[in-house]
Amino acid sequence: MEGGPTSHTAILARSAGITAVVGARGAAALAEGQEVIVDAASSQVIADPGPEQLAEAERRIEQRSAVQAAPVTPGTLADGTPVPLLANLGSPDGAQHAVELGAEGVGLFRTEFLFLSSDRAPSVEDQTAAYTELLKAFPGKKVVVRVLDASADKPLPFLTNDEEENPALGLRGIRALLAKQEILEDQLTALARAEAAAEADVWVMAPMVSTVEEAEQFTELASAHGLKTSGVMVEVPSSALLAEPILQRTGFASIGTNDLTQYAMAADRLLGSVASLQDPWHPAVLRLIREVGAAGQVTSKPVGVCGEAAADPLLAVVLVGLGATTLSMAPAALAEVRYELSQHTADSARAAAAAALGATSAAAAREAAREALATQHAQ
């Protein structure tokens, strides 16, 4: 497959629970019927594996099956520290399945599905109906809704400018919504009406925030429409570095590690040629996440992670060690992340995070975190 580990192809595979490795060099040379091991955890495709490799793969498959079959419980560390595990959803259709898999709410509800199939924005009434359907699946639980995120790979004729030479760095996310504020205001109106018609705890967040002023504008607009909890997505280095003043002015932050990695590493997440740079384990990305986690602690504001990084069980532990208070992921990943968190304490998570931060590459950071957790277990 082309693309990187946070490309839309990879996200769809993870959502469906399909083991996949993207950007695998030499994959085209594999022959029909050739035996391979696809190891997503280590980003490897092993051709013609030997007996020991096959036995290890079978052991891990059995372990994964046991984890998937385990009783659903709230996300907690081994010392009882709660880490709510939430679902990433792209439409109301997957809500019930997420609940069955143990989602404790929704950490990222992408609203683009309502906008992408039309040449004009949906009405307030149509949006209200869709949001209400979702919210009713999570009575009494937190549902974090991201307002429309039109971007380079999701152009909208009524919002985005097709003539931009580099739309990934142009008028996208909250910039586009503030430029055509009536679309944002209709969406906030619909969300407020849906919240009044259901029993979920609605949180609303703005995408691609890069300045303190954008955070202030969005927070004020959300409040004016009666939405009590609003926040921002941290997807670019500027908002990570400005996390403390941003959180002083808004309710929460949710880290979108897919775009944060893309912009920090200057590596297009849709290009397989730079897939090796699209790794949220890179210490440069982890240090930006640490900035946001630290700002959350200073301001006593929640900091979630809703990018694909949260679905990596080992990295999920590190993210908690960096200050994440909730993790949101494709529902298919909930069981394995829940199990991994339950094996480690908060102190262990912080030790693993510190070890990863001290590395100089993504691979070294992953291995350092693994060794740190093994050392903690041995003590």
Q: Of 280, 36, 259, 49, give the one whose Cα is nearest residue 154.
A: 259
231 contacts 253 by C-beta, under 8 angstroms: yes
CA distances from 302 to 148, 224, 237, 295, 327 (A): 22, 22, 19, 10, 11
Number of structural domains the chain divides into: 1
pLDDT for 7 beyond 60: no
In a domain, 123, yes or no: yes
In a domain, 64, yes or no: no
* Sequence-separated (6 or more) residues with CB below 8 Å from residue 166: 152
Q: 201-251, pLDDT tens digit by residue? A: 999 999 999 999 999 999 999 999 999 999 999 999 999 999 999 999 999
Structure token digits, residue 314: 């080992």
pTM: 0.88
pLDDT for 15 beyond 60: no
**DSSP type of residue 30:** P
**Percent of the chain scored above 90 by pLDDT?**
70
pLDDT of residue 218: 98
Structure token digits, residue 191: 């969300």
Q: Is 282 a catalytic residue?
A: no
In a domain, 19, yes or no: no
Q: What is the mean pLDDT of residues 4-32?
A: 63
pLDDT for 89 beyond 70: yes
Residue 67, CA atoms < 13 Å, CB-side half-sphere:
19
Q: 198 is in which domain, residue-wise?
A: 70-343
In a domain, 147, yes or no: yes
In a domain, 140, yes or no: yes
Does 7 or 189 have the greater pLDDT score? 189
In a domain, 110, yes or no: yes
The residue type of 267 is A
Q: Based on the number of CB atoms within 10 Å of its own CB, is 374 exposed (0-12), middle (13-18) or buried (19 or more)?
A: exposed
pLDDT of residue 72: 87
In a domain, 58, yes or no: no
Structure token digits, residue 374: 């093994």
pLDDT of residue 166: 80
CA distance 151 to 165: 13
Q: Is 344 a catalytic residue?
A: no
Instruction: Tally Cβ neighbours within 10 Å of residue 294.
Output: 15
**Percent of the chain scored above 70 by pLDDT?**
85
What rounded mean pLDDT belongs to the chain? Answer: 89
CA distance 282 to 363: 8
Structure-token match 């069955």, residue found? 100
CA 198 to chain centroid: 25
Instruction: For residue 109, give the H/E element and its range.
Output: strand 105-110
Instruction: Indicate which residue of 8, 225, 282, 377 is catalytic.
Output: 8
pLDDT for 1 beyond 50: no
Q: 355-374, pLDDT tens digit by residue? A: 999 999 999 999 999 999 99
Instruction: Indicate which residue of 97, 225, 282, 306 is catalytic.
Output: 306
Structure-token match 């994964």, residue found? 64
* Maximum separation of any 2 CA atoms in the chain, in Å: 64
pLDDT for 344 beyond 60: yes
In a domain, 352, yes or no: no
CA distance 379 to 373: 10
81 contacts 60 by C-beta, under 8 angstroms: no
Q: 44-74, pLDDT tens digit by residue? A: 787 777 777 776 676 766 666 666 677 889 9
Q: What CATH number corresponds to the domain at position 337?
A: 3.20.20.60
Using left for φ > 0, alpha for ψ between -120 and 50, and beta otherwise, residue 7 falls in beta
CA distance 10 to 121: 28
Give exposure, 256-288, as e/b (b: 16+ Cβ within 10 Å).
bbbbbbbbbbebbbbbbebbbbbbbbbbebbeb
pLDDT for 4 beyond 60: no
CA 89 to chain centroid: 10
3-state SS, residue 226: coil
260 contacts 285 by C-beta, under 8 angstroms: yes
Structure-token match 């595990």, residue found? 85
